[in-house]
Structure 1
């Protein structure tokens, strides 16, 4: 195995100079650096990554933790995060919490044990606070995606959920709908709270009454049991003429359950929701959505994280970036009959 001492001997420099070429190239003259790099190439030398991380106190490895990788929103987000990491010379480890605070806590333990340089996290909800406090206590830089957690001051990248909900309800109201329901995620998740806030504001804007019977607090993940949505739909009399879903998973649950009851979408009930379907949207675009910039969530969040890592020790203000949504009109919404 070729060592730095072999490189030093052939390049006629000290082993310390070779180490600086690998770890702190800015401290070596260009002429010396080129000579050492040429010898390294000739001898097919590969620097020891573990040794390098000990010298620089960094591993060049980051962690991405999302809540449901099967959701195309998070799949696209992960691609953006990976691209930004690679552009900056970092590798990416990955975890999926399934919207579970317990599983999320286990991944935080992994983050601490593997000594990654930082973490990009889509938290499961307000219950994520103890896990995030552990990261803060151990001085692990992290950035939150898609959701805020009360009690945690950190960099965060969010979608404009309030405006997106207003867009969806406004579109339906302008079509003539007056009974517009909301199937949302848990209100222990900040994005669900913001979407309900936007829903209520839009109803008020269009002179429509808020009726709690037409609002269901469900769950965002694919693991959610749609039986609660089915029971809620059966209780509603009269049925809403339009339903806003808190995300794409809920929108699909609602459409499937309506069709199972012989209710046609959009002829009898219109359905619209948050988040597009990534690469799957183009095959048979059907659902009207307030699309979030999933790729930019990951790419922007990763850039913020790397900036925070490189500025370790500096007292820099926290950033809260809110990305706008875009209303995409498709076949799942129509004027009421």
Structure 2
């Protein structure tokens, strides 16, 4: 069987140079690259992935760890990540933490066991710090998506959560709403904190008072039991005329709860939220949302991860990079003028 050492000997280059040609990595002149490929063709070389991994100390496996695979935002993000990974010759494995730091830890242990070359991760929250530090200790590059974790230096791709929240509140006030509630994710999640900050700032800029009774924080997850939302709605007197939801899952659950009470959206209560409901929302466009560039989150994050893998072991790594993607307000039918 022909090996990369046979090719290297005949082409007059090192085995590492042959590996770089096969994997399309490193800086190699076009002349050398053409010579190596010509020898590969002459010898009918078929790449052996295990051998390549041993030479480069790479598995050509990457891992995408997200928090909720049922959320259309993350499924679209995953599509972008997979497309970018394939473009660079990597295979992509998926994990779903369900917003659980314990489940996230199990996945990190599995990532280390599989010797994945890098990880694209939407962390469960601030408590993800030790899991990310474990990746760092084992020299596994990672890029954060959608959320930051205090104390962790890394590349990150984020949406403009604060500005998006301000846009939603401004849209509601433009329709006459003055009692605007917020149902949001846990304050241990950076994006939820920023959405809360944007909500408060927008209220202030519109001369509206902030009332803690109008704010509720809970997991960014689908649930069957809506009693927690029911209790929150019961505690607001007078009731809100509009509700901002911190993500699409919470928006749907609020609408379900309101419908269960015989309340119509938007006739009785207006509802807006973060992230669209996926391609099927085009069948009956209803919910007014801040639509984030989910595909670009995954694609750009993967590009950054591959670049980190390629520079691993270099003498002067590049500074950490932060990409903040703008989000668009899409106005649909879930908001009516305040009565």
**TM-score under structure 2 normalisation?**
0.91
Distance 1:183 1:30 in 2: 56
Contact preservation (8 Å) 2:16, 2:55: no
Q: 1:324 aligns with which of 298, 323, 326?
A: 326
Contact preservation (8 Å) 1:147, 1:190: yes
Distance 2:12 2:54 in 1: 15
- The aligned residue for residue 106 of structure 2 is 106
Q: 1:38 aligns with which of 27, 34, 41?
A: 41
Matches within 5 A, 1:72-151: 72-151=72-151
Distance 1:319 1:235 in 2: 43
SS in 1 for 2:317: coil
Deviations 1:204-232 (A, max 9, x none): 00000000000001110224843211111
- The aligned residue for residue 176 of structure 1 is 176
Residue 51 of structure 1, CA deviation = 1.2
Deviations 1:91-138 (A, max 9, x none): 111110000000000110111111111100000001101100101111
Farther off after superposition, 268-277 or 27-36: 27-36
Is the aligned partner of 1:4 residue 2:7? no
Matches within 5 A, 1:279-298: 279-298=279-298
Contact preservation (8 Å) 2:10, 2:39: no
Contact preservation (8 Å) 1:126, 1:190: yes
- The aligned residue for residue 25 of structure 2 is none
Structure 2, unmatched stretches of 5+, are: 22-27
Distance 2:51 2:288 in 1: 52
Is the aligned partner of 1:23 residue 2:19? yes
Distance 1:12 1:270 in 2: 68
SS in 1 for 2:170: helix
Alignment CA distance shift 1:284-1:31 (3 Å): closer
Matches within 5 A, 1:33-72: 33-41=36-44, 45-72=45-72
Structure 1, unmatched stretches of 5+, are: none
Distance 1:116 1:12 in 2: 27
Contact preservation (8 Å) 1:185, 1:219: yes
Residue 325 of structure 1, CA deviation = 1.0
Contact preservation (8 Å) 2:165, 2:195: yes
SS in 2 for 1:52: helix
Distance 2:308 2:17 in 1: 25
Number of residues of Structure 1 aligned to a counterpart in Structure 2: 330
Residue 142 of structure 1, CA deviation = 0.3
Residue 237 of structure 1, CA deviation = 2.1
Alignment CA distance shift 1:179-1:132 (3 Å): same
**TM-score under structure 1 normalisation?**
0.92
Contact preservation (8 Å) 1:165, 1:198: yes
Distance 1:235 1:20 in 2: 67
Matches within 5 A, 1:217-296: 217-223=217-223, 225-296=225-296
RMSD: 2.2
Alignment CA distance shift 1:113-1:329 (3 Å): same
- The aligned residue for residue 336 of structure 2 is 334
SS in 2 for 1:110: helix
